[in-house]
Homo-oligomer: A and B are copies of this chain.
């Protein structure tokens, strides 16, 4: 059945292309059309063991980790999850057009929840070497912050080809590890999510560890803190973390695998073009350009058998 269905789709596509060639100049497909034509191999199922599940009273946030970019931080976050470090900690900060952040609100280090087996400090993982193992799909329209930008392993990245380095970028929904002034002071026990216009000045200054793939509205609609930097001034405003788990720990009845569009595929490149050149009838100007943090990164539940 499956191969028959594919053949029919292929035939329809051929007819459509022929028809376009005869009747009108080719119009690039819309994103919906690109996704409708995608094949199952264009999608990658997220590994539940590299996925974080944050449960707040108001809902669930699912995050894909990026061990390709921050292996030490990802490993330590998993160690903190294993010792249930996050459970009972709180969202301490919601700054409009910037970040939501959770951790231990105690100002006195002696009063903070103790770390058992995880590490308490880590060397920063702000960037990494370019590598053939991690190809980058580059964007053509430039960037105010970096020599090149694009996508690798499903994440937005910046590239400095002269230096041979690449790094994750602070687009909307990216997840990072808070730190104090000392560069090695972040261990993953305090994390933040970007909920505003990409604060790209944080690139190369903080270790990013992943991105939200579902439920970001649970964070982005939290009341804003009224203290400096959006910290909640009244402990009654803190939002308690019911639990932070790996996807692989969630009972099967409560879990649905997610898949993301692979960013190295021809389908993703077609998606970029569909967004650079908007031909939906509403658009007066197709734009002809796109910024790094404006490219959608499709996520969907894996189809059930």
Contact = CB atoms under 8 A, between A and B. Distances in A.
A285 interface: yes
Interface in A265-284: 275, 278, 281-284
A197 B172 contact: yes
A220 B96 contact: yes
A223 B218 CA distance: 9
B294 A216 contact: no
A292 B144 contact: yes
Contacts of A173: 97
A199 to B, nearest CB: 7
Contacts of A284: 124, 126, 183, 204-205
Interface string A222-237: 1110000000000000
Contacts of A197: 171-172, 196-198, 293-294
Contacts of A171: 197
A181 interface: yes
A42 to B, nearest CB: 23
A143 interface: yes
A145 interface: yes
Interface residues of A, number: 47
A290 interface: yes
Interface SS of A by simple majority: loop
A19 interface: no
A201 B143 contact: no
A289 interface: yes
A127 to B, nearest CB: 10
Contacts of A144: 139, 141-144, 289-292
A189 B268 CA distance: 38
A283 B179 CA distance: 11
A197 B292 CA distance: 11
A223 B290 CA distance: 28
B96 A216 contact: yes
Given A126-B284, A145-B291, A205-B284, 7 more contacts: A97-B173, A126-B285, A145-B287, A180-B282, A201-B278, A205-B283, A221-B223
Interface string A150-182: 000000000000000000000111000000110
A285 B204 contact: yes
Contacts of A275: 201
Nearest to A179: B282
From A171, A205, A216, residue with most partner B Cβ within 10 Å: A205
Contacts of A126: 284-285
Contact of A294 (B96, B142, B200): B200
